[in-house]
Structure 1
């Protein structure tokens, strides 16, 4: 069961999002907040799997609330609930650790898919938002570090661990020893990372790991 905290100052929007999430038997909305400060407090009290936060809220906006939640409860996946056209906030949200950017006006199936993705350790951008992000990346509108963090956000926690050790120059055998895995499992993770991130070799993987901040300098 995926436990979700839902925060939005618009009662009608909150009711609509809750109704959509309630159609999935694997999702349980365990708490609701009407402002960002309350969202932080309820997250720390309930420790949900996902905190789904509107951007524009009183007392504390969703981006600031998400940053506080990520610092205080890193096991909680933060997803930002937004309207189309607010993608200017994307870079800040990613920098602060958000794993998802979901449209209020999108297909209800996207909202459910996004909650499942971030709860599972991955990342999710609604398709329309993803198209805008790609356009901004091509135009140079996002920094390389932010772009790298967005790319590795698609990986699971274990795959990010493997990518970080790849970036540090470790062999598959060394990574397996460090993470307590068998070497064949590490090879599978490396293959999945290369495929998912469209990487051709370990050098490209190392560069991306450094740009994404996965390796302590």
Structure 2
């Protein structure tokens, strides 16, 4: 176990801690980020489909990475967190939220894989499909509070478990992790947690 995940933090950390549904929020240290990078490189989906967590890769390029452990009250992401891409780079499926489902309910050119994911069978795919987890915007951190290049992403379930173990947190299936990464504006002090 490393630093206390509930220790007082800087303004960015306190903004996130004030959001509905946030149980814990803390900066990830370089040690766990290195371990997570190795784990994310091994992740595969059902059917041995490759998973490309682009959001996580971009998070590693930022000055600071905050981990949020959240419950179901936390707001939904503003964009899809999972996209199924063909080997040619075409979108052949994507995550759907209750607030975006109306775009697909009357369409006859989609197949609902689940309540939260649609496939586009008319889009050609010739192998090499992969699930892409893109970087997702996180509007609560922005230039007004000293942040730029802000993104969020979801770690793989195995990475989520690694984070919880590293920081001595209980693995509760009702809680999930989201990572928020950002660069600091000029004049902002770097995090004292890293």
Give me the TM-score of the superposition, normalised by structure 2. 0.24
Q: Which structure has more helix as a fraction of its residues?
A: 1
Structure with more relative contact order (C-alpha pairs < 8 Å, separation 6 or more): 2
Give me the TM-score of the superposition, normalised by structure 1. 0.22
